[in-house]
Amino acid sequence: MAVEALKWVGDVDGYLELVDQRRLPGELVKLQCRGIEQLHEAIRTLAVRGAPAIGVSAAYGLVLAAQKPGGRDSLEHALKVLGECGRYLASSRPTAVNLFWALERVRRCAEEFVAAQPNSGLRDLRRAILTEAHAVYQEDVEMCRRIGENGQHFIREGSGVLTHCNAGALATAGQGTALSVMFEAKKSGRNFTVYADETRPLLQGARLTAWELKEAGIDVVLVCDSMAGWLMKQGKVNAVITGADRIAANGDTANKIGTYSLSILAKKHSVPFYVAAPSSTFDLSITSGADIPIEQRDADEVTSFAGARIAPDDIDVCNPAFDVTEARDISAIITERGVIENPDARSIAQHLAPETSSQKQPKGVTD
């Protein structure tokens, strides 16, 4: 892993350190988030991005919220502040489910602590919240490694792999999801080429994925998004592997805009299409991808490039951040628990059944 996308610095009165991904690859700049307003802005503006990384950051965000309970010293008031701050952080982005999952998990931990130890002090509550946030972080690191191990056999010696957007170390607390599969295949001694889509309009593939793979010593070729179908027709792509921001109960998967098109192209050219994502990315309260909310982002992302205007003034712009790939076009979903071949509602429910209750995943929420 070339860089840590995020880490907590210090004890209960510490802060969250983030790599500012808006500045990569030109500069490696780190932000010190000491309040939830700063973290909200970092998530909203993509200083931190990637569903798992957003979730872990949000968990630490409630530690920041607990540092300033509004001047009162009661546990009940602290819980109220945590609820308000959690809702505020949840408003930063609407599609990736890990944001809401992590906020709900840490909030519930705080409630259970107060119920079990009502005579404790605020510092004890903060300690409990920080411990839970650390657990979310460590589980994410382990999750990344296991996803890579479970999926690395899909990459054959000498093959070509296409990926879209960034699902590497910069998108998680660990070594990534889709890129973890590639890192583990590399560790296994296989040689292969990764074609990284540039991923318009914000170029996460060009700025982040190409940088990560190059740093890891993996053969990477940067391509424009519109080149993918021609590469497949030429036989240069033997597998497509992407991440995910939310997966519905039937396996329909929301990911960075452009992923849906890749799934159609892959099916046309008989190229297997794999999704690598943690089990926390599943939202079983959503029946199908039709119910996944899709974030609409600012028109300037499309009409400007590197600060220069590239489109006519007053032009209408459509800028959805995500699209939805149907489960029928996904060959397999790779999670930290294993692989779901030809995913559907039944196979997904079976895959998640052992830990669904213990994960306490929130209902009806996304990244």
Residue 341: C-alpha distances to residues 91, 150, 163, 275 (Å): 34, 12, 19, 11
CA distances from 287 to 83, 253, 281, 290, 364 (A): 27, 11, 14, 8, 10
Known catalytic residue: 323?
no
Report DSSP state, residue 279: G
Q: Which two tokens stand for residue 333?
A: 């979903």
Strand intervals (E) in 23-64: 30-33
Q: How many helices (H) and strands (E) does the chain have?
A: 13, 16
Catalytic residue among 245, 252, 283, 367, which?
245
Cis, peptide link before residue 52, omega less than 30° from 0: no
Q: Which of 119, 140, 3, 133 is nearest to 67 (CA)?
A: 133
For the annotated catalytic residues, the residue numbers are: 245
